[in-house]
Structures are given as structure tokens and as C-alpha cells.
């Protein structure tokens, strides 16, 4: 099930906009986040509503992070020149992992707290 959702997500957000408009709507880190989230969070026990809500919130945070990082890199390249290009190439994977790991951990903690609440209430 998760594989089908991931392929549908790639088709809707990456392939179709590129075919019709000439650009992709999402970047590789967002696809990486969605793959991690779908394959590692969705199989866990917990309400589907919270999983979908957390995935949507993670995508929103990822888009904001991508735009912030793009503006930061553009301004840094403008002021410091191409010297920053090599440093950017080495640092960007770690900067991307900041929001990916944070959203994944948030999803795990929310699902664990919902499970604990259900156990305490006897459901």
C-alpha cells in the first residue's frame, strides 16, 4: 500500500507538473521525506488521520525549508561568490536532514503518545 501511495505522490507532484509546465513542484529531499514517512511511519499502529496530517505538515515544513535555503544560498553566493559553492555542496545534505529527521521524530512521538493514551484509557 505504501509503495503505491509513494508512486502516486511522485506522479502527481513531480512527473505531471514537469510534463505539463516544464518544472517539478517538489525537490528530491521532499521525495526522500515522503518515502521515509510512507514506508516507516504508515505501517505503525495509530490513527490514519494523524499520519496523513503529519505527512502534510512535514511537506509544508519541507517546502518552507527549501525556499528559505534557496534564498540563503542565493544571497550567500551573491556576497561571497563561487567560493561558497563547494562548501554548499558538502553542507546541504546535513541541512536537509535537519528538517527530515525532526519531522520524522515528531511523527514517531505523536503516534507513540496516541498509543500510550489509548492504553491508559483501556481502548
Question: Would 115 be classed as within a structural domain?
Answer: yes
pLDDT tens digits for 44-73?
Answer: 888 888 888 888 888 888 878 887 887 888
Task: Compute the chain's Rg from CA coordinates.
Answer: 18
pTM confidence score: 0.71
How many domains would you assign to the chain? 1
In a domain, residue 57? The reply is yes
The predicted structure's pLDDT at residue 51: 84
| Of residues 45, 52, 30, 53, the one with CA closest to residue 100 | 30
Give the range of the structural domain holding residue 42, as residue numbers without chain letter: 28-121
31: Cβ–Cβ under 8 A, 6 or more apart, which residues?
9, 10, 14
pLDDT band at 83; cut points 50, 70, 90: confident
**How far apart, in whole angstroms, are the C-alpha atoms of residue 113 and residue 94?**
28
- The answer to whether position 90 is within a domain reads yes
Residue 38 lies in a domain: yes
Share of the chain above pLDDT 70, in %: 71
Q: Is residue 5 part of a domain?
A: no
Amino acid at each position: 500500500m505504501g509503495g503505491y501511495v509513494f508512486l502516486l505522490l511522485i506522479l502527481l507532484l513531480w512527473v505531471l507538473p514537469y510534463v505539463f509546465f516544464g518544472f517539478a513542484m517538489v525537490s528530491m529531499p521532499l521525495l526522500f521525506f515522503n518515502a521515509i514517512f510512507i514506508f516507516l511511519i504508515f505501517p505503525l499502529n495509530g490513527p490514519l488521520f494523524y499520519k496523513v496530517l503529519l505527512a502534510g505538515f512535514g511537506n509544508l515544513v519541507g517546502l518552507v525549508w527549501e525556499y528559505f535555503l534557496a534564498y540563503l544560498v542565493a544571497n550567500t553566493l551573491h556576497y561571497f561568490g563561487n567560493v561558497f559553492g563547494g562548501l554548499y555542496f558538502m553542507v546541504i545534505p546535513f541541512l536537509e536532514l535537519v528538517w527530515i529527521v525532526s519531522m520524522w521524530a515528531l511523527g514517531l512521538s505523536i503516534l507513540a503518545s496516541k498509543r500510550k493514551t489509548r492504553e491508559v484509557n483501556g481502548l
